[in-house]
Amino acid sequence: MDAAFADPAFWDEYRALLRDFVGRPSPLMQATRYVGEPNAATLLFKREDLNHTGAHKINNTVGQGLLAKRMGKRRIIAETGAGQHGVATATIGAKLGIPVDVFMGALDVERQSLNVYVMKLLGARVHPVTSGTQTLKDATNEAFREWAGRVEDTFYVIGSVVGAHPYPYMVREFQKVIGLEARAQVLERYKRLPTDVIACVGGGSNAMGIFSGFVDDSNVRLWGVEAAGHGLASPDTAASLNAGSIGILHGSRSFVLQSAEGQVRNTHSISAGLDYPGVGPEHAYLKESGRAAYVAATDEEALAAFHRCAEREGIVPALESAHALAFAERLALERGREGLIVVNLSGRGDKDTRHVAALESPLSS
Amino acid sequence: MNGCELIREAFALAKSERRCALIPYLCAGDPDAETTALLLATAGSTGADILELGIPYGDPLADGPTIAAAAQRALDGGMSIEGALRLMADATAAGAPPIVAFTYLNPIVQYGLERFADALLSAGAAGAIVPDAPLEETGPIRAAFSPRGLALPLLIAPTTPLERAAEIAEASDAFLYLVSRLGVTGARREPDFDWIDERVAELRERTSKPIAVGFGVGTAEHVRRIAAVADGAIVGSALIDSYAGSRGEDAALRAARFLESLRAEAG
């Protein structure tokens, strides 16, 4: 990785793929109707939802895919929860001609059958994981185990800023493009830096990506929005930074939702992409150092923001991003007209429409 | 004798009898605490030189399906660190061979490393193997273990470069745990004996510590081949498979039959 990072040709190839394959730079759009209150702050959406495959995930898989190719690996593996990272990995595998195996909790395979089909369409093999809770945590466990046995010919593309070093660092570097673009776009258009930057946090890769463009601008406040699920005090939450404690998971020390005995807890969020019991270690650092603040939005608040964004901006956001949007509305009102707020709209919500429709059907309990 | 000395003595005894040490792994609480107690006693009386007792963890990254499922059964049955420590205490009080705990890092960090070391000591255990603690992260564990004479044996994998393996050998207490092949624990994949032969020979030039081989060791033939080069054979998943689906005396009987077949080939 160090050799690749030091080689300008590596970054040239990465940037060319981001431009021609992913469609970068992604636009920065003013959300004129989302808050709908004349005295509220100016709200800007960083449109990662417009990327190829519909989310920020592809920025990272392009980078790691190129690393795999450079290292001469003959196979790529990935874990996936809702299937977004699986699809993004299958996509770059197809583009670069490297076979892809995706590990996915058996429950998620059932819940996200459309993404399973898309991965197969892209030529990837999907392996349902039946151990433990049969969700993202267990898919990650299984990918690590598979990697341990095939490390010589296999590259493990982790989907977030989690896992052992160098993953949290490497994934951040590949997502940094979001923050660098956003900063330049805001400065060009508004001739000043934003007052606040908001992103949702599960593992935390879209947040690390946009934060890293602004982390040195000490006047820009950084906000991570976690998934509170049914509430921070309830056992049904995925807010590791707000409701967890320091522990070790998947090779890094960070905040973990765990029992007093150090067993990793089951998590819950309406959004599968945020439903992870740990969080990137750099977020733990930003929290402890006070550089970023971490708040949370419940399932209900995210769902309201999901509808509001669809109805008032003409964008169906991913349920993950809807958590950031829920907090953005609150903050825009609090900041008033002087505020200039960037929200990372990390993904689009096509994948979630069926889930939301089922939740809201009068027949659902 | 402290924990390190107990383990060294067990290896020395096996060596004096011209055989490799047999080191069965059991998961505390699988399928229940009473059965584990019986299995520990059985293993001790069927020729185990050292016992490994797994403290169940819900996300065991180094373990394959057999041990992962055993850990889940144990946790579902309410097994805990305290419960595993009680099993160790009862077994050592009844004269079991030296017991080494096998535990992932997070549960003992949450428990408190000093507190865990004290608890191991009171339970009469000889030390612990922590498979997800890389050499660089073993400092705090060693700081808790060393003053109490507890052993912290370290693992060497096929991907460990020789120079690093030599550093690990230097830091490892009582013995070296050589991982027999790439991948996680489990009987589905055979040990890589060519690699074991080569690496043991290389390590012998750098350390005089006993070398035990584990992961994928599950047949009498495996034990025979390991006995020819190394000092110990660690058998986990295949042992758990040998009594799968049974409990109590029935499980102990099956485990005994299996361990006897291995013991016959240990040298």
- CATH of span A57-167: 3.40.50.1100
- What is the number of other CB atoms lying within 10 angstroms of the CB of residue B96? 21
| Residues of A whose CB is below 8 A from B110 | 247, 258, 260-262
| Residues of B whose CB is below 8 A from A249 | 59, 106
Give me the interface pTM, i.e. the ipTM.
0.94
pLDDT tens-place string over residues A37-54: 999 999 999 999 999 999
Query: Taking a C-beta distance cutoff of 8 angstroms, is the pair B127, B145 a contact?
Result: yes
Is A165 within 8 Å of chain B by CB? no
Answer yes or no: is pLDDT of A237 > 70.
yes
Answer yes or no: is pLDDT of B250 > 90.
yes
Closest CA to A153 of A60, A77, A62: A77
Rounded Cα gap, residues B84 and B99, in angstroms? 11
- What is the number of other CB atoms lying within 10 angstroms of the CB of residue B245? 9
Position A8, amino acid:
P
Answer yes or no: same fold for A23-55+169-360 and A57-167. yes
Closest CA to A302 of A206, A205, A162, A201: A201
pLDDT band at residue A363 using 50, 70 and 90 as cut-offs? low
Phi, psi of A341 (to 5 degrees): -115, 130
Residues of B with CB under 8 A from a CB of A: 57-59, 61-62, 64-65, 68-69, 72, 75, 80-81, 105-111, 132, 159, 182-184, 189
Q: Which residue has the higher pLDDT, A301 or A275?
A: A301
Taking the whole predicted model, whether its pTM rises above 0.90 is answered as yes
pLDDT at residue A66, as a whole number: 98
Rounded Cα gap, residues B223 and B67, in angstroms? 20
Domains and CATH numbers, chain B: 3-262 (3.20.20.70)
Answer yes or no: is pLDDT of B123 > 70.
yes
- What is the number of other CB atoms lying within 10 angstroms of the CB of residue A365? 2
pLDDT tens-place string over residues B206-235: 999 999 999 999 999 999 999 999 999 999
Checking phi first, is residue B30 left (phi over 0); if not, alpha (psi -120 to 50) or beta? beta
Element (H, E) at A149: helix A136-150
pLDDT tens-place string over residues A148-204: 999 999 999 999 999 999 999 999 999 999 999 999 999 999 999 999 999 999 999
Phi, psi of A54 (to 5 degrees): 85, 15
Inter-chain CB proximity A145 and B59 less than 8 Å: no
Position B220, amino acid:
A
| Residues of B whose CB is below 8 A from A261 | 80-81, 107, 110-111
Chain B: residue whose CA lies nearest to A253: B106
Every domain of chain A and the residues it spans: 23-55+169-360, 57-167
pLDDT band at residue A364 using 50, 70 and 90 as cut-offs? low
Structure-token match 């032969």, residue found: B197
pLDDT band at residue B172 using 50, 70 and 90 as cut-offs? very high
pLDDT at residue B266, as a whole number: 85
Closest CA to A146 of A119, A172, A173, A125: A125
pLDDT tens-place string over residues B26-43: 999 999 999 999 999 999
Verify whether residue A57 is a known catalytic residue: yes
Q: What are the angstrom distances between the C-alpha of A341 and each of A306, A322, A329, B122, B220?
A: 18, 15, 10, 58, 67
Tell me the mean pLDDT in the region B144-158: 97
Answer yes or no: is pLDDT of B91 > 60.
yes
Mutate to test the interface with B, among A141, A154, A256 (most CBs of B within 10 A): A141
Inter-chain CB proximity B58 and A264 less than 8 Å: yes
Position B264, amino acid:
A
Distant-in-sequence, close-in-space partners of B95: CB < 8 Å, separation ≥ 6 = B44
Domain spanning A23-55+169-360: which CATH class is it, in words? alpha beta
Tell me the mean pLDDT in the region B250-262: 97
Is A152 within 8 Å of chain B by CB? yes
pLDDT at residue B267, as a whole number: 82
Query: Taking a C-beta distance cutoff of 8 angstroms, is the pair B37, B83 a contact?
Result: no
Instruction: Taking each helix axis as running N to C, give the angle between helix B33-45 and helix B81-93, from 0 to 180 degrees, rounded to the nearest 10.
Output: 40
Structure-token match 């994948």, residue found: A351
Position A191, amino acid:
K
Chain centre to alpha carbon of residue B240? 13
Is A323 within 8 Å of chain B by CB? no
Decide: helix, strand or coil at residue A267: coil
Phi, psi of A266 (to 5 degrees): -70, 145
Answer yes or no: is pLDDT of A322 > 60.
yes
Chain A: residue whose CA lies nearest to B182: A149
Rounded Cα gap, residues B30 and B25, in angstroms? 12
Rounded Cα gap, residues B102 and A223, in angstroms? 40
pLDDT band at residue B187 using 50, 70 and 90 as cut-offs? confident
